Structure 1
Amino acid sequence: MSNTTRRTGLIVSLDTQDPAQARAWVRDVAPVSGIIKLGLEFTYAAGFQAVADVAGDSPLFLDLKLHDIPNTVGAAVRALSHLRPRMLTLHASGGRAMMEAARLACDEAFPQGQRPLLLGVTVLTSLDDQGLAETGVPDGARAQVRRLARLAVESGMDGLVCSAHELDVLRDDLGSKPVIVTPGIRPAGAAKGDQKRVMTPAQARDAGADWVVVGRPITQAADPAAAAAAIVAELEG
């Protein structure tokens, strides 16, 4: 499903363990990017106070991919409420009860109108069909993404995280309502790194992404602000 009228925003992934480096990137990209992303690497290395300090007033995509029994995930969501993230991720493969517990905790722990968007992670962009088969999923990434996406929406998730290669089928299945965040985005000519299912920013926009996530092509550029601005211009082009 192509949608060239969709306004697609940029999330910049700050993949570092160094708070000073993360703060420098925020200064560079926050005026350009809609949201900054901090994930497991930074949070485990620097701690939650550093997450709050680095994010400051910038909208925060807290990418922790929660995955545990329902009671534990619900408690974790409550414990994160002081950070006021704009978006929070959990693995849809954790199941319906886990996602419903997260949604209930989110509704209870955050002030009205301030809860984050809960995003169900479908299949990691580092996994291809062969990698999924090794985990016991024999029919490939596309089928698994569709299963988990439907389950996530039924379980109260506001949106999904998926590869750009599944965007078309998810928009056909679920329509325009779920917020879809797409990692594995690489500008033309950029190295793929450890990502296997990738697209350019414009391709993801046209396929139906609400947000694209870009990390190393921005943060490892000689001028991160210019690299971010170039991707925003491509998304708006």
Structure 2
Amino acid sequence: MASWLGLLAIEDSMTQYWPFSGLVRQNTLRERLIVSMDLRDRADALKLVDRLARVVGMFKVGRALFIGGGPDFIREIRRRGAEVFLDLKFHDSPQKVLRAAVEATRLGVKMFDIHPYGSNGGSTDMMTRTRAEVARICRTEGLRRPSILAVATLADTKSQNSFSRLPGSSDRVTEIARFAADASLDGVVTWPHEVTRVRNTCGRRFIIVTSGVQLREPGNTTSNTLTAADAIRAGADYVVIGSPIWRAAEPLHAVREITDDIERGLRNSPRRTFEILNPRPV
């Protein structure tokens, strides 16, 4: 009996520190990191995927690489066992955005983004219809449903057909986030300094992807730049980092530094352990 109780005590102790231990810890950290592949050469991009697929959560493919490689390039990344964030910011009539979203879903990407306004602007109709059609296609074709994000980094884009101001909205970014949430989109892409306001506006189940974070500089405690730890601590789910990784002499070392920084953010996050370890991601 005493021995059994002792084992329970050990198990309880392990559970207490489980969030940051072993394989679970590493998987939790790697899922938070998206590598932006702003590379011109398709072969170089695939080499990067081969090198980093096991240690990062996703690879972001933008317009340049997609135009150069097309859908087959996305399929090639998926064949290598890697996940894709398709960053094409679909922006057209609602029907055309819907069709593009369906094709992105069929490619097997884990997430993709859309322009929050569409070419016609003025309502959440485009976002709502896109979300509904993607869900329908996934049900009928047995596909995994990707996360659909609105691009709030385009908040300063001027448009005569933009949404009317929301009552009480403090800024354009939180306004876009609220429209996206009301349209049942999964989240937004935004800047690190906007994360706290978006999180407070849209709640804990809303996905926040942030780009523009800086690498931590050893010994620098006065910099005003925001790091991955700052973004995660503020409530971000994912951080997108590109050239500091693929331009590094040792990309794997750069990834390790970033995931260490992400861990610092998780350790100091005000969110509960359950929320940290069970991210909103797809």
Please give the range of the TM-score, normalised by the shorter of the 2 chains. Answer: 0.7 to 0.9
State the alpha-carbon separation in 1 of the partners of residues 175 and 150 from structure 2.
12
Closer, same or farther: CA 50–198 of 1 in aligned 2, 3 Å: farther
Give 1:215 deviation, angstroms: 0.4
Match of 1:100 among 124, 128, 139: 128
Aligned to 1:71: 95
State the alpha-carbon separation in 1 of the partners of residues 34 and 240 from structure 2.
5
Q: Which has the higher contact order (CA 8 A, sep 6+)?
A: 1
Give the secondary structure class of the aligned counterpart of 1:123.
helix
Residue by residue over 1:157-190, the C-alpha shift from the partner in whole angstroms, topping out at 9 and shown as x without a partner, is 011111111111111111111010001122135x
Closer, same or farther: CA 29–198 of 1 in aligned 2, 3 Å: farther
Aligned to 1:121: 151
Give 1:135 deviation, angstroms: 6.1
Paired AA for residue 104 in structure 2: L
Give unmatched runs, 5+ long, in structure 1. 190-196
Aligned to 1:164: 192
State the alpha-carbon separation in 2 of the partners of residues 104 and 49 from structure 1.
26
Give the secondary structure class of the aligned counterpart of 1:21.
helix
Give 1:217 deviation, angstroms: 0.7
Give unmatched runs, 5+ long, in structure 2. 1-19, 21-27, 218-223, 265-282
Aligned to 1:14: 37
Give 1:113 deviation, angstroms: 6.5
Residue by residue over 1:82-115, the C-alpha shift from the partner in whole angstroms, topping out at 9 and shown as x without a partner, is 2111111111133411111211221122245711
Give the secondary structure class of the aligned counterpart of 1:15.
coil
**Is residue 19–residue 54 contact of structure 1 (8 Å, CA) maintained in 2?**
no
Match of 1:181 among 206, 209, 229: 209
Give the secondary structure class of the aligned counterpart of 1:119.
strand
Q: Which has the larger radius of gyration?
A: 2
State the alpha-carbon separation in 2 of the partners of residues 168 and 147 from structure 1.
14
Paired AA for residue 70 in structure 2: G
Q: Taking every aligned residue pair, what percent have the same amino acid on both sides?
A: 32
Aligned to 1:34: 57
**Is residue 164–residue 198 contact of structure 1 (8 Å, CA) maintained in 2?**
no
Paired AA for residue 220 in structure 1: R
**Is residue 59–residue 85 contact of structure 2 (8 Å, CA) maintained in 1?**
yes
Give the secondary structure class of the aligned counterpart of 1:47.
helix
Match of 2:105 among 59, 67, 81: 81
Q: TM-score, normalised on structure 2?
A: 0.71
Residue by residue over 1:9-52, the C-alpha shift from the partner in whole angstroms, topping out at 9 and shown as x without a partner, is 10111111322101111122211111111111100122111121
Paired AA for residue 122 in structure 1: A
**Is residue 106–residue 143 contact of structure 2 (8 Å, CA) maintained in 1?**
no
Give the secondary structure class of the aligned counterpart of 1:172.
helix
**Is residue 121–residue 161 contact of structure 1 (8 Å, CA) maintained in 2?**
yes
Match of 2:72 among 40, 49, 56: 49
CA RMSD of aligned residues (A): 2.5
State the alpha-carbon separation in 1 of the partners of residues 76 and 257 from structure 2.
27
Paired AA for residue 114 in structure 1: R
Aligned to 1:151: 179
Give 1:133 deviation, angstroms: 7.9
State the alpha-carbon separation in 2 of the partners of residues 181 and 105 from structure 1.
23
Match of 1:201 among 228, 241, 248: 228
Number of equivalences = 217
The structure with more helix, counted as a fraction of residues: 2
Match of 1:59 among 67, 80, 83: 83
**Is residue 96–residue 155 contact of structure 1 (8 Å, CA) maintained in 2?**
yes
**Is residue 181–residue 187 contact of structure 2 (8 Å, CA) maintained in 1?**
yes
